[in-house]
């Protein structure tokens, strides 16, 4: 098994370098066919979402990021310890107006059946199922 870095996903999705994009496509086809196995982590997925959504770079809408990234995460040959959690976070990200990192936090909370969070981040107020708390003296 080998580790998949952010730039491989970005080169493939953005085609900003056609030669590298083609090589990444071939890599993902090998993963799809089960010829090789890859793994990655939350940091890579979060960075891909961040770069694709960045207003100074690609500025893609949330639903497009979801549509582009989901097939990669769903590759059978891409082994991730909490794959369902990433998919759930992508879904939350696409359906709510919150950052991917916050969507990932909420997905972790749902998995553990936690409904309250201490945070000064008002974006959590956009999630009806969640109660945001602030510390008091």
User: Has residue 67 got a pLDDT over 70?
Assistant: yes
d(CA 101, CA 93) in angstroms, rounded, equals 9
Residue appearing with tokens 């309250």: 116
* 104-133: pLDDT as tens digits: 999 999 999 999 999 999 999 999 999 999
Half-sphere exposure of 4 (CA within 13 A, CB side): 27
- % of the chain beyond a pLDDT of 90: 94
* Whole-number Cα distances in Å, 68 to 52, 61, 72: 10, 11, 8
Within 10 Å of residue 78's Cβ, how many Cβ atoms? 17
* 93-106: pLDDT as tens digits: 999 889 999 999 99
Where along the chain do its domains lie?
2-112
> In sequence order, what are the residues at sequence separation of 6 or more whose Cβ sits closer than 8 angstroms to the Cβ of residue 128?
none
90 near 69, Cβ under 8 Å? yes
Half-sphere exposure of 128 (CA within 13 A, CB side): 2
pTM for the full predicted model: 0.89
3-state secondary structure 6-67: HHHHHHHHHCCCHHHHHHHHHHHHHHHCCCCCEECCHHHHHHHHHHHHCCCCCCCCHHHHHH
């Amino acid at each position: 098994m080998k580790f998949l870095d952010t730039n491989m996903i970005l080169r493939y999705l953005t085609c900003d370098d056609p030669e590298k994009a083609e090589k990444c496509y071939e890599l993902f086809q090998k993963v799809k066919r089960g010829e090789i196995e890859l793994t990655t982590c939350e940091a890579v997925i979060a960075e891909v979402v961040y770069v694709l959504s960045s207003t100074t770079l690609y500025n893609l809408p949330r639903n497009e990021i979801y549509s582009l990234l989901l097939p990669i995460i769903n590759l059978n040959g891409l082994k991730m310890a909490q794959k369902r959690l990433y998919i759930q976070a992508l879904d939350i990200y696409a359906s709510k107006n919150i950052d991917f990192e916050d969507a990932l936090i909420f997905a972790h909370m749902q998995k553990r059946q936690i409904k309250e969070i201490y945070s000064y981040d008002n974006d959590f107020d956009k999630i009806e199922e969640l109660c945001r708390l602030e510390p008091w003296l």
